[in-house]
Amino acid sequence: MADDVVTAETGHAGGGGGDVFDVTIIGGGPTGLFAAFYAGMRQMKTKIIDSLPQLGGQLAALYPEKYIYDVGGFPRILAKDLVATMSEQALQYEPTVCLDEKVTGLTPDGDGIVTLTTDKGVHRSRTVVIAAGVGAFLPRKMDVPRVDELVGKGIQYFVTETAHLAGKRIVIVGGGDSAFDWALGLHEKAASCMLIHRSDKFRAHEDTILKVLQSPVDVRRFHELKAVHGEDRLEGVTIFDNRTGEEFYVECDSLLLNIGFLTNLGPIKEWGLEIDKNAVRVNSTMQTNLPGVYAAGDICTYVGKLKLIATGVGEAGTAANFAKTFIDPAAKAFPGHSSDMK
């Protein structure tokens, strides 16, 4: 597997405006990559457009060295390695890839073509699969004095590499999957690892919670961050028990803030799509209310929706196959397994 996040570009940003593609995929994360793979399997002329400078979406941008535990076929896999294998799978059919390019407009034309406007040009496609994750995202900031001053100096909202955390005293704030995954993945290389959460209700997977609780990680329920200390670099934090008010000073070298994200669909909300609670509503074929426009992954919603990588890649396969039938009504949505009887 590759050691680095995939940054190769097979197309040119903003290019291809005169060409009409069979399917254009907005988003180059796992969902978008699998959609590109399946579109290639169906011999569709495919393009991927992503606003980031590399393929991989949030996995590449936010936590390439975080282990992923809930993907089929891998007991655990580093995010950057999952990105590398999924990119290899998608790029074997040589889709055009436009990176560092933001889609700002989507307009279905009367001739059955969808026009996509970006900050670098215009693209035309017979179908579109929106696989843009949660849209634009920013970390939820910690409202504690001087935190912003020490971001990058021992305080992190994202962890893009872990080598510098070896042998360090780490404090993690949060009660969700990211906090527990980092606690599980870092405690063996750290000098010490503490996880604090404001309640005793955690939002991570039960198995991950159990493994962390059985590990040397010092888990402090009902504890919150009150202050950070240090001039040029983080030297320690003050935490407090929100039941009693009792305060504790903890020496640490690294503070990881995993308290969630603020998401925004941005221009997607202006494209005429049916939006439900900050997500694009789709039917059972992953089609939106706009003909020829599909959505898959975290960006879409329907009854019973679960936001998982595994779910997203399944939705991507569905979207790509039904996009094929939209272009060619004589084609089957599911062509069959190679092992089927003839």
Q: Is 298 assigned a ligand-binding role in the annotation?
A: yes
Q: Is 215 assigned a ligand-binding role in the annotation?
A: no
Q: Is 89 assigned a ligand-binding role in the annotation?
A: no
**For residue 237, what are the contacts with CB-CB under 8 A and spacing of at least 6?**
171, 225, 226, 227, 228, 229, 249, 250, 252, 255
Q: Is 58 assigned a ligand-binding role in the annotation?
A: yes
**Where are the strands (E) in 3-135, listed by range?**
20-26, 46-49, 67-68, 77-78, 96-98, 103-108, 114-118, 122-130
Query: For residues 77 and 97, what is the distance between their CA atoms, to the nearest angstrom?
Result: 25
Query: For residues 77 and 80, what is the distance between their CA atoms, to the nearest angstrom?
Result: 8
Q: Are strands 103-108 and 114-118 parallel, antiparallel or unpaired?
A: antiparallel
- Report which residue type is found at 281: R
Q: Is 340 assigned a ligand-binding role in the annotation?
A: no
Q: Is 54 assigned a ligand-binding role in the annotation?
A: no
24 closest CA partner among 16, 286, 4: 16
Query: For residues 8 and 165, what is the distance between their CA atoms, to the nearest angstrom?
Result: 28
Q: Is 328 assigned a ligand-binding role in the annotation?
A: no
CB atoms within 10 A of CB 152: 10
Q: How far is CA 207 from CA 71, 138, 336, in A?
A: 15, 28, 36
Contact 119, 98 (CB under 8 A): no
Residue 319, SS3? Answer: helix
Residue 326, SS3? Answer: helix
Q: Is 147 assigned a ligand-binding role in the annotation?
A: no
Query: For residues 328 and 311, what is the distance between their CA atoms, to the nearest angstrom?
Result: 26
Annotated binding site for FAD: 31, 50, 58, 63, 103, 137, 298, 339
Annotated binding site: 31, 50, 58, 63, 103, 137, 298, 339
